[in-house]
Amino acid sequence: MSIAKKVSLGVFGKNISYSLSPVVYDAWFNHFNISGHCSLIQKNMFDFEEVSLEFSKYYGWAITVPYKEKIVEWLKTHPSASWDSWVEELGVANIIKNKEDCVVATNTDALALGFFLSQNDFTEKLKFSKNVLILGGGGVAKTSEAVLKRIMPEQRSFNIYMAQRNLVGKDCKNNISLYDFKTMEKIGFDVIINATPMGTSRNEEHHVLTEISAVLKQNKGSLVIDWAYDVTPTFWDCWTKQEDVLFLGGTDLLIQQAAFAFEFWFGLVPPLFLAKQAIESAISKTEV
């Protein structure tokens, strides 16, 4: 595939200097000889008019925290926007393409998680799971819940709970406080999904995860999915290795959802190993 003009991609979010997405996309640009570049667009607040002006400068956007839900509100104001069933169902989008005055959105987070959960190792673990705890209440948490329900329809009987900091105004039937460890212990969880930055060097709430991991260990938990990633191993990465618990980490999820995004933008299936090499190289430079 040949792309005549220079392609600009933007990663849009707040406090995202840690993001490795530009490293991944730039590696694939080089592989396909595409004249392109990916930049970070950091905004402390979501301004609809500013977003419209900024978006016109880019062929595509990767939306990250905390704007994956807010961007759908913006899409609904755009006269020629469209989106797929995931975005319609969840009100959450993370990838947008700007093409010939049309805006098209999708949720490759959902595609990536669904891809992994359809594999035998994860499917087998979920078959015997009774209770799932999702840490967080934002777009990634909602996406995780929806994928679990869609990818495992025969397992709808298992219970999914969300642990959040603020429960004011929310239906508390399956929502519990992030700090209510007694309730977590009483329920007992087989699967933990971390949809927060907890467990990384940019978050200091390791004590919370220590308490939650004790609950998982007590109930002989079988699976941890961690959307967070860092230049150093996350809390859950280290803990699952120590406890011999099946683990799906944020770096693998990042690469897979980015690959689906690259195919969505350009119709090209990128090599995953190049993304892994690029990330390892970027991390090694950071550590020096």
pLDDT of residue 1: 47
One domain for residues 225 and 129 = yes
pLDDT of residue 3: 59
One domain for residues 34 and 149 = no
Q: Is the pLDDT of residue 167 over 80?
A: no
One domain for residues 20 and 89 = yes
Q: Does residue 176 belong to any structural domain of this protein?
A: yes
The first and second tokens of residue 84, run together, are: 């797929």
Domain hosting 47: range is 7-106+252-287
One domain for residues 93 and 189 = no
One domain for residues 139 and 52 = no
Q: Is the pLDDT of residue 127 over 90?
A: no
Question: What does pLDDT average to over the chain?
Answer: 91
Are residues 19 and 11 in contact, defined by beta-carbon separation less than 8 angstroms?
A: yes
One domain for residues 54 and 131 = no
What percentage of the chain exceeds 90 in pLDDT?
73
CATH number of the domain to which 60 belongs: 3.40.50.10860
Q: Is the pLDDT of residue 17 over 80?
A: yes
β-strands 95-99, 60-63 pairing: antiparallel
Over the stretch 102-123, which tens digit does the pLDDT of each residue have?
A: 899 999 999 999 999 999 899 8
One domain for residues 168 and 267 = no
Full DSSP string of 75-100: HTTSTTEEE-HHHHHHS---EEEEET
One domain for residues 84 and 193 = no
Over the stretch 197-230, which tens digit does the pLDDT of each residue have?
A: 999 998 878 889 999 999 888 877 789 999 999 9
Over the stretch 44-87, which tens digit does the pLDDT of each residue have?
A: 999 998 888 888 889 999 999 999 999 999 999 988 999 999 99
Q: Does residue 14 belong to any structural domain of this protein?
A: yes
Q: Does residue 2 belong to any structural domain of this protein?
A: no
Question: What three-state secondary structure class fits 253?
Answer: helix
Q: Name residues whose C-beta falls within 8 Å of residue 23's C-beta, 6 or more positions apart in sequence.
A: 275, 278, 279, 282
Beta bridge partners of 10: 39, 61
One domain for residues 54 and 173 = no
Question: What three-state secondary structure class fits 212?
Answer: helix
Q: Does residue 13 belong to any structural domain of this protein?
A: yes
Q: Does residue 17 belong to any structural domain of this protein?
A: yes
Return contacts of 270-278, CB within 8 angstroms, 24+ apart.
Answer: 270/28, 270/31, 270/32, 271/28, 271/31, 274/27, 274/28, 274/31, 275/23, 275/24, 275/27, 275/28, 276/251, 277/27, 278/23, 278/24, 278/26, 278/27
One domain for residues 44 and 133 = no
CATH number of the domain to which 167 belongs: 3.40.50.720
The first and second tokens of residue 192, run together, are: 């933990």
CA separation for the pair 96, 56 (Å, rounded): 12
Total domains in the fold of the chain: 2
